[in-house]
Amino acid sequence: MTTKSSGFTLIELLVVVAILGVLSAIGISSYVGYVESAERKAAENIMQQFSLGQTEYYSGNGMYYSVASLGCTATTTTSTALETNLLGGADSISADLNYEMCIHSHSSNYMVKATAKTGTCEITMTANGTFTRTFC
């Protein structure tokens, strides 16, 4: 007489673990892509706020605010200066954003630049609101 044992075999358990591993790998990579995309969008929104600040600064001073005349390197210092001079000291660029920003102007035009703290992504926005993403 044979008896039936209840439970799972080792093969069945290994198959379930393998399926869960594949699903979690897909989920993690999707999540990382979502986070990077959200950070890029947040940086672009802040760049648009700086553009509005530039309009107000120009109205009061007759020229655009600039960190540098020919180009700029985005650092914590330049980001803080932008927040102070264009946004009235509002802390728009949070520490967990993963982007630093700067503005450079030439003649009657300016460009806002955001550089990722980690990675190679660089986003630029012209005075007319055109975005360019490099290595993103």
Domain boundaries, the chain: 10-134
**96-105 pLDDT, tens digit each:** 888 999 998 8
pTM value is 0.77
**Secondary structure of the chain: what % helix, strand, coil (to 5)?**
45, 20, 35
Counting as low any pLDDT under 50, the low residues of the chain are none
Q: Tell me which residue has tokens 């044992």.
A: 5
d(Cα 79, Cα 92) in Å, to the nearest integer? 9
pLDDT value, residue 108 = 78
Q: Which residues contact 5 (CB under 8 A, 6 or more apart)?
A: none
pLDDT value, residue 14 = 94
